[in-house]
Amino acid sequence: MGWIIGIIGIILAIRFWKVSLVLLVLAGLLFARMEWVSENRKEEKKARVQALHTKIATAQKEASSDGKVWKLIGTPDPASNKIVPRAVLAASDDGLCSLNIEKRIDGSELTGLESPGIKMSDYDNIYIKFDTKDIAVPMNIKEYSGSYSLNGSDSVYIPLQQYTSSGYMSYKDFIGGLITANAVAIKIPSAGGFWVRFSLNNAAKEINKLDLKVLSND
């Protein structure tokens, strides 16, 4: 019985050898295409990383606190139509990032951290270093609802809830530092990690206008 099956196999191989050859050639071409795409993507990624490092280095070389002020943003109250302070924002000295301290209409409080073109993941932490403190302390960040991406986002926020029992800085201490210190540096978890500095010249005056609940909580 086995020899019959063997003969049938040989007959089929002879009968359809052209089809087999075509399939083999197509498989080879497909494999070559996949290898080319893989190598091309590696080169593109390498170029993007290099461009990002160049962008950061150039911006930090030209960094200056001149003209960097904290701005109060108000929006109309939907009931009274009065302009109500809702946010205070500022750009880093190098212009790579911005902080946006928010007191939303629903009472929630958070601080947005934006870095256009520089992706951050909420799997990573930022580090906060005030000029009035000796050490940098971690804080967790989150991606905004609906904007989650496996590649991270260039717009995240510092939430009110922090892992203070694990040595993280509390949100209250973070806001308090923005009010009492002269400058704050934040380590951005991207491109291998780099620091951005924010001057706090008029921060206290503008932040206090938000009347944040976190500062009044004991």
Q: Measured between alpha carbons, how far is 122 from 208 in angstroms, rounded to an integer? A: 28
Q: Measured between alpha carbons, how far is 198 from 173 in angstroms, rounded to an integer? A: 16
3-state secondary structure of 40: helix
Residues paired with 142 in a beta bridge:
157
The pLDDT-based confidence of 50 (bands split at 50, 70, 90) is: confident
pTM for this one?
0.77
pLDDT at position 5 over 80: no
Burial of 104 per CB tally in 10 Å (0-12, 13-18, 19+): exposed
Element (H, E) at 27: helix 17-61
The pLDDT-based confidence of 97 (bands split at 50, 70, 90) is: very high
Which candidate, 107, 108, 100, places its Cα nearest to that of 203?
Answer: 100
CA distances 90 to 26, 107, 173, Å, are 57, 22, 19
